[in-house]
């Protein structure tokens, strides 16, 4: 079914139901019998072919990868993320009816299937971002020198209410295009700028228009959750736009709730919001463990009142005591780590080590492009760098040497894929290249100067790959990007008759620049320049984090 910017968020993606795969290839048998001598030799040389020329017309891709047509990836290096399959070389992956039907060697091509000759390019599961404030993307980079206190001042207190519904739409659309273009196939839109029904509808409209996979986490920083959740617009949005379950992969856009973690009041005034979420089966994602907020007491209050649910996601969770991590672990909740954010803004040091020690599931996120890159490859690297750097620093202070890195590249790759799927309660359908799962896939070029020769594909994904290597992106079996170019028809622009290769970016640019110009005018040049180049405060008078 076709979608457009005003269509309901319940428009269906490719169905997750499918026939059982014909065969499965386990890692041991494949490596013993399925990898040719030539394939082994290829691992040590830079002979990987480009998937195809980037000069080809993306309009042709819309026809080649028409909706409903099977796609066969040939001779890829497949980093499955599946514990049974592992990493496979010279491997085929068959996608049909939106689902991964088979993974194996020399698979038969179904009639009329499109074939991508991968030539050793790296095929991985689509990345999943569990915390991104998409509405803020129109002010990308403005906060490059901000701290968390600056953010509270300018976004929470001064600028946030300047966003019109059309500004929310522009930010969400731009952010979704950025995500798809960079290999993020599912994004949780931590949408805490929804101060009116029109703002909420605009956020949903933009997510739907992009045709990417998204989870709207409905939030409102301008009021307390006990005021805006029960008896407010949330029920209307659920009724009108989200009739299906929050974890449905049949719908590209689903919904849950988001708010800041709570306070110190033992009366627990947030109870009505939590009760609403519980009654409607909606997960909650929380800013928690953030320096400047109530820390452990907030989570203790949630626990004592019976709302420390396994579907809760605790974003940052950086400035917490051991006893609080124990509460989260016992509840079955998970943590979203935004290492670029935590290292720059000051919520607390990325808590990867403490979270892992307590066995708490981890996903990764980018937070906001007001500051940071929005690049999940950067998120994986920042997470590794922070964790390993801390281990080395602690060891040196004790006059010893770290002999083994505990956090490995495979760990952070899992956080960025399967970990995100699990956090969104979609782990049985997304997060790995497993027959029967939904085909959210990313193909990375292996012939670029930064990638060749590919000696270990997992290490390369984490440390060598970047946006430039994202050749093809598939969501629910629909090809969204191929040969390095977004496909306008796949992202919903065919109704305008615009099949130019740059149509998607030009549309996003036009929306974003109009929005940025409006907001800058409302903010005023003096305030704008003061925010872009924040003063060097000498006292804590400018500390807005506790207010």
Q: Model confidence over 418-461: pLDDT tens digits?
A: 999 999 999 999 999 999 999 999 999 999 999 999 999 999 99
pLDDT at 543: 56
* Alpha-carbon span 56 to 540, nearest angstrom: 57
How many CA atoms within 13 Å lie on the side-chain side of 367? 25
* Alpha-carbon span 5 to 1, nearest angstrom: 14
Compute, in degrees rounded to 10, the torsion defined by CA atoms 262, 268, 273, 276: 140
Look up residue 409 and give its two tokens.
């590249």
* Per-domain residue ranges of the chain: 27-124+431-492, 127-423
- Work out the widest C-alpha separation in the chain, in whole angstroms: 71
210-229 pLDDT per residue, tens: 999 999 999 999 999 999 99
Helix, strand, or coil (residue 232): coil
* Alpha-carbon span 274 to 269, nearest angstrom: 10
Q: Which residue shows structure tokens 């002999």?
A: 403
Q: In angstroms, how far is the first alpha carbon of the chain from the final one?
A: 48
Superfamily of chain region 127-423: Metal-dependent hydrolases (3.20.20.140)
**DSSP code, position 381:** H
If one counts every other C-beta atom within 10 angstroms of the C-beta of residue 114, the result is 18
pLDDT at 501: 63
Which H or E element spans position 28? helix 27-33
* Alpha-carbon span 256 to 238, nearest angstrom: 9
- C-alpha angle 403-394-344 in degrees, rounded to nearest 5: 115
* Alpha-carbon span 405 to 402, nearest angstrom: 7
**Strand ranges in 183-222 using DSSP code E only, listed in sequence order:** 184-191, 213-218
**With a cut of 70, which residues of the chain have pLDDT below it?**
1-59, 494-501, 538-547
Which H or E element spans position 253? strand 253-260
Contact 379, 340 (CB under 8 A): yes
Q: Which residues contact 340 (CB under 8 A, 6 or more apart)?
A: 366, 367, 371, 372, 373, 378, 379, 382
For residue 199, report the phi and psi dihedrals to the nearest 5 degrees: -65, -40
Q: Which residue shows structure tokens 């420390």?
A: 308
pLDDT at 523: 97
Contact 543, 195 (CB under 8 A): no
- C-alpha angle 169-174-180 in degrees, rounded to nearest 5: 125
Exposed e or buried b per residue across 468-492, where buried means at least 16 C-beta atoms within 10 angstroms of its C-beta: ebbbbbbbbbbbbbbbbbbbbbbbb
Contact 296, 328 (CB under 8 A): no
Q: Which residue shows structure tokens 């950086």?
A: 318
For residue 134, report the phi and psi dihedrals to the nearest 5 degrees: -65, -35
pLDDT at 250: 86
Is cis: bond before 174, omega within 30 of 0? no
Which H or E element spans position 377? helix 376-397
CA-based torsion, 415, 417, 422, 428: positive or negative: negative
* Alpha-carbon span 493 to 400, nearest angstrom: 58
**Using H for helix, E for strand and C for coil, what is the string for 111-128?**
CCCEEEECCCCEEEECEE
314 pairs with which residues across the strands?
A: 286, 335
Query: In whole angstroms, how far apart are CA 504 and each of 442, 491, 500?
Result: 19, 7, 8
* Alpha-carbon span 135 to 191, nearest angstrom: 7
* Alpha-carbon span 385 to 343, nearest angstrom: 11
Query: In whole angstroms, how far apart are CA 247 and each of 17, 101, 186, 333?
Result: 14, 21, 12, 16
Pairing label, strands 184-191, 213-218? parallel
If one counts every other C-beta atom within 10 angstroms of the C-beta of residue 7, the result is 17
pLDDT at 491: 82
Helix, strand, or coil (residue 424): coil
* Alpha-carbon span 174 to 147, nearest angstrom: 24
CATH code, 27-124+431-492:
2.30.40.10
* Alpha-carbon span 387 to 82, nearest angstrom: 25
Quote the pTM value. Answer: 0.89
């Amino acid at each position: 079914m076709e979608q457009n910017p005003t269509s309901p968020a319940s428009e269906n993606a490719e169905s997750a139901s499918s026939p059982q795969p014909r065969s499965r290839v386990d890692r041991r048998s494949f490596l013993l019998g399925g990898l040719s001598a030539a394939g082994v030799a290829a691992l040590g040389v830079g002979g990987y072919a480009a998937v195809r020329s980037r000069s080809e017309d993306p309009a042709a891709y819309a026809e080649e990868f028409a909706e409903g047509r099977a796609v066969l990836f040939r001779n890829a290096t497949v980093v499955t993320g599946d514990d049974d399959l592992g990493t496979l070389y010279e491997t085929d992956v068959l996608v049909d009816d939106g689902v991964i039907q088979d993974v194996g060697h020399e698979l038969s091509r179904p009639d009329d299937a499109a074939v991508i000759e991968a030539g050793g390019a790296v095929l991985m599961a689509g990345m999943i971002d569990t915390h991104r404030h998409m509405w803020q993307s129109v002010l990308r980079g403005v906060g490059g020198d901000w701290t968390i206190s600056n953010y509270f001042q300018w976004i929470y207190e001064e600028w946030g209410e300047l966003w019109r519904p059309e500004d929310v739409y522009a930010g969400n659309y731009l952010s979704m295009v950025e995500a798809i273009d960079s290999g993020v196939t599912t994004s949780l839109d931590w949408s805490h700028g929804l101060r009116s029904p029109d703002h909420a509808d605009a956020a949903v409209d933009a997510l739907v228009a992009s045709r990417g996979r998204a989870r709207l986490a409905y939030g409102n920083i301008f009021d307390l959750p006990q005021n805006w959740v029960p008896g407010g617009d949330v029920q209307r949005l659920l009724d009108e736009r989200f009739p299906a379950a929050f974890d449905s992969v049949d719908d590209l856009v689903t919904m849950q709730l988001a708010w800041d973690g709570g306070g110190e009041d033992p009366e627990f005034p947030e109870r009505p919001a939590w009760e609403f979420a519980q009654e409607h089966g909606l997960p909650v994602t929380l800013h928690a463990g953030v320096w400047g907020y109530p820390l452990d007491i907030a989570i203790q209050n949630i626990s004592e009142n019976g709302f420390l649910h396994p579907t809760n996601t605790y974003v940052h969770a950086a400035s917490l005591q051991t006893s609080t991590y124990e509460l989260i672990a016992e509840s079955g909740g998970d943590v979203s780590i935004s290492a670029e954010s935590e290292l720059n803004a000051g919520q607390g040091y990325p808590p990867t080590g403490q979270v892992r020690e307590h066995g708490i599931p981890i996903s990764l996120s980018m937070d906001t492009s007001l500051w940071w890159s929005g690049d999940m490859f950067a998120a994986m690297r920042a997470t590794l760098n922070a964790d390993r750097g801390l281990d080395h620093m602690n060891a040196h202070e004790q006059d010893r040497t770290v002999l083994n890195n505990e956090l490995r590249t495979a760990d952070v790759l899992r956080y960025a894929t399967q970990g995100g799927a699990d956090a969104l309660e979609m782990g049985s359908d997304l997060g790995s290249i497993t027959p029967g799962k939904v085909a959210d896939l990313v193909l990375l070029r292996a012939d670029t100067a930064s990638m060749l020769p590919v000696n270990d594909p997992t290490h390369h994904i984490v440390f060598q790959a970047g946006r430039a290597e994202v050749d093809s992106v598939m969501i629910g079996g629909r090809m969204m990007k191929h040969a390095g170019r977004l496909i306008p028809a796949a992202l919903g622009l065919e109704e305008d008759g615009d099949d130019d290769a740059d149509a998607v970016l030009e549309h996003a640019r036009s929306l974003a620049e109009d929005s940025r110009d409006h907001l800058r005018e409302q903010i005023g040049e003096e305030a704008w320049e003061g925010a872009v180049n924040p003063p060097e405060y000498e006292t804590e008078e400018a500390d807005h984090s506790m207010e």
